[in-house]
A and B are shown apart, each in its own frame.
Chain A
Amino acid sequence: MSEKIFACLLLCYPPAFRRRYQEEALQLYRDRLGDEHGMVSRCRLYFDLLIDAITGLPRAWRNTYADKGAPSLTSNAEGTPSFHLLNNQPLRPASIVFGSTLSLAALSAFVFMMSLASRYPPSSTSGWSSPIESVMERLNHALPPGNEDVTTAYASAAEGASQGQLTTRIASAISIETGVAVGNTERDHVIQAAASILVAHYVDTQKAHEASDLLLIHQKRGDYDALSDGPTLAERLTQDIQGSTQDLQVAVQYSRNAIPNSPPTPSAVQHEEYRAAMMRQNCTIEKVQMLSNGIGYMKFNFFPDPTVCSEVFHRSMEQLSQSRAIIFDLRDNAGGFPGMVADVAAELFDHPVLWYNPRATPNASLLSPVPDSKLANKPVYILTSSRTFSGAEHFTYDLKMLKRATVIGEATRGGHPGAPYRVDDHFWMAVPEVRRPSPYGTLDWQGLGVEPDVKVNASDAMGTAQQLAMKSRSKWAAR
């Protein structure tokens, strides 16, 4: 290390220190350099200087360097005002500690606040938010008009929402788009496509033809010619179709953003968000309990994605393996994934059964039981209300038809598992699907609901189910 480098190192020291000791320090360096010869000694000298720079600096900055020998300003100036100069005063250790503590506290507070922030906070009027509510909340409120990517909304909704209300809600979310012109060619195409979709998919064939014909007649007369912007055209078509079918669930909707050809696959991030939300809510399983009378009780409010929640449901149902009968409380269940509906049902059989799924093609297939399920032979009771909807109705209907469960409570809501149909790049329709016959020989729940075996008020269903389960238990014990 040359003297110049050492002199540069001294620049790190306080100016007062340098004024007073720089020459002496350099002299000390020279003295050592003159006294210590040989490679080892030199290396030791440089090492000493390096360590000294690290340990000596804080010490140097702590000193005040007040000139004790200097006479006071007052006595020198003889009556003239005197001032203390503070610019050379070093920071006191207490000030450094206080400043550091304050900074750390502010940083900690910031990190804490950030950890509280949630992109999709559970919020609802009841305080508890189901996955459907979360999705609907996002669709109906969180989307800034004109800025939200419709693709994301579609994907999120398709991922987590129930089958029935989905269509209408997505449509309402998208219909906030306004003000884009529609040319003659596109208008004609939209009208004809809407008429075709009605005929092909609407649940009531006769009404579908009537509404379709009405649209084409209006078109022929030129009634739609003046409608030159998307939202107005969509609104008028909706009015005509709903007026003809008397069904408020059929609607034509307009989106300024281009509508994808098919619902895009949820991204890994979206899937992870969904998984985290499900884990936070225990996959919507509100209660799993062995009642004092030996009856197992399970209340869940959604049939979530089986790829995420299958294991959680399986473990919860295993807790009821020692029960004599099982009560599934679906009074607040809003539906969900058909796959999960089948997975839960599969725990209740010890042999394959013909399982009906109106959304599948073909609509009936063999459902394999879960091997060695301890729930397979236990009496099952399902509690229903007028709120029980969609996938929950699917579960209830199939188990009732298979005579595997006794349904207690109110008739279910009778939802149409409607689907969105793309008309063109900016228009689409919400259409309740064509009803196909179930393999059990009856009409399914669509539009009708599932009639309970024991009709009581939803609030009384639990008590009734327990009474029946106790009798059933006695019968079972007598076997």
Chain B
Amino acid sequence: MPKRKLDPLPSAAFQILLSLADDELHGYGIMRQVEEQTNGHIRLGPGTLYSSIQALVEEGLIEEVDRSPASGGGSERRRYYRLTSSGRKLARSEAERLADLLRPARAKRILRGDYV
């Protein structure tokens, strides 16, 4: 069985999945959402953003939403994306994996706080 492109899941792809957890977004919206949820640490450029989106679409983790220009609020055609059920499942398992990784760090008092 060929190795999947998103295994392990790149952080950019993971952040895109998270950004789509609540709402359908277009490319620029995803970029801004990712920037916001990472406190400005990650600003996805067009190449990384759309390559990751393409990979996620190919893996069936997100899908394009058909929206008319009018409903998008602008004159230009923008593609909107939403999380699929498998995308949501993968985002959850990835979050749990990261939480598992962080748990011993917190137990050893290397990492403080309750955010894990």
Which A residues contact B (CB, under 8 angstroms)?
Answer: 10, 13, 17, 20-21, 23-25, 27-29, 31-32, 48-49, 51-53, 55-57, 59-60, 62-66, 68-69, 92
Bound complex: CA A92 to CA B27 (Å): 27
Bound complex: CA A57 to CA B46 (Å): 10
Report B-chain residues with C-beta under 8 Å of the C-beta of A55: 45, 47-48
Report B-chain residues with C-beta under 8 Å of the C-beta of A65: 54, 58
**Residue from the list A59, A62, A69 in contact with B47, Cβ < 8 A:** A59
A17, B76: Cβ atoms closer than 8 Å: no
A28, B51: Cβ atoms closer than 8 Å: no
Bound complex: CA A69 to CA B63 (Å): 10
Instruction: List 29 A–B pairs whose Cβ atoms lie within 8 Å, in order of A's numbering.
Output: A10-B46, A17-B50, A17-B51, A17-B54, A20-B50, A21-B54, A24-B26, A25-B50, A27-B27, A27-B28, A27-B76, A27-B78, A28-B49, A31-B28, A48-B43, A52-B45, A52-B46, A52-B48, A53-B47, A56-B47, A59-B47, A59-B48, A59-B55, A60-B51, A63-B54, A65-B58, A66-B58, A68-B58, A69-B64
Bound complex: CA A443 to CA B28 (Å): 106
Nearest B-chain residue to A51, judged by Cβ: B45
B27, A56: Cβ atoms closer than 8 Å: no
User: Beyond A60-B51, A62-B55, A63-B55, is A24–B45 a contact (Cβ under 8 Å)?
Assistant: no
Report A-chain residues with C-beta under 8 Å of the C-beta of B78: 24, 27
B47, A57: Cβ atoms closer than 8 Å: yes
Instruction: List the 5 closest A-B pairs by CB distance, nearest first.
Output: A52-B45, A56-B47, A25-B46, A59-B51, A56-B48
Which of B5, B43, B47, B55 has most A Cβ within 10 Å?
B47
B21 CB-CB contact with A under 8 Å: no
A48, B51: Cβ atoms closer than 8 Å: no
Residue tally, chain B, CB below 8 Å to A: 28
Report B-chain residues with C-beta under 8 Å of the C-beta of A49: 45-46
Kindly count the residue-residue contacts between A and B in the assembled complex, taking CB atoms under 8 Å apart. Answer: 85
Query: Distance in Å from the Cβ of B73 to the closest Cβ of chain A?
Result: 13
Bound complex: CA A21 to CA B26 (Å): 12
Query: Distance in Å from the Cβ of A254 to the closest Cβ of chain B?
Result: 75
B88 CB-CB contact with A under 8 Å: no
User: Beyond A28-B31, A56-B45, A62-B5, is A21–B55 a contact (Cβ under 8 Å)?
Assistant: no
B57 CB-CB contact with A under 8 Å: yes
Nearest B-chain residue to A55, judged by Cβ: B48
Query: Distance in Å from the Cβ of B78 to the closest Cβ of chain A?
Result: 7
Bound complex: CA A24 to CA B51 (Å): 12
Bound complex: CA A13 to CA B64 (Å): 21
Query: Distance in Å from the Cβ of A88 to the closest Cβ of chain B?
Result: 13
**Residue from the list A27, A63, A68 in contact with B51, Cβ < 8 A:** A63
B19 CB-CB contact with A under 8 Å: no
Query: Distance in Å from the Cβ of A318 to the closest Cβ of chain B?
Result: 63
**Residue from the list A20, A28, A57 in contact with B28, Cβ < 8 A:** A28
Within 31-71 of B, Cβ neighbours of A (below 8 Å) are at: 31, 43-55, 57-58, 60, 64
Query: Distance in Å from the Cβ of B67 to the closest Cβ of chain A?
Result: 13
Bound complex: CA A25 to CA B57 (Å): 17
Report A-chain residues with C-beta under 8 Å of the C-beta of B47: 13, 25, 52-53, 55-57, 59-60
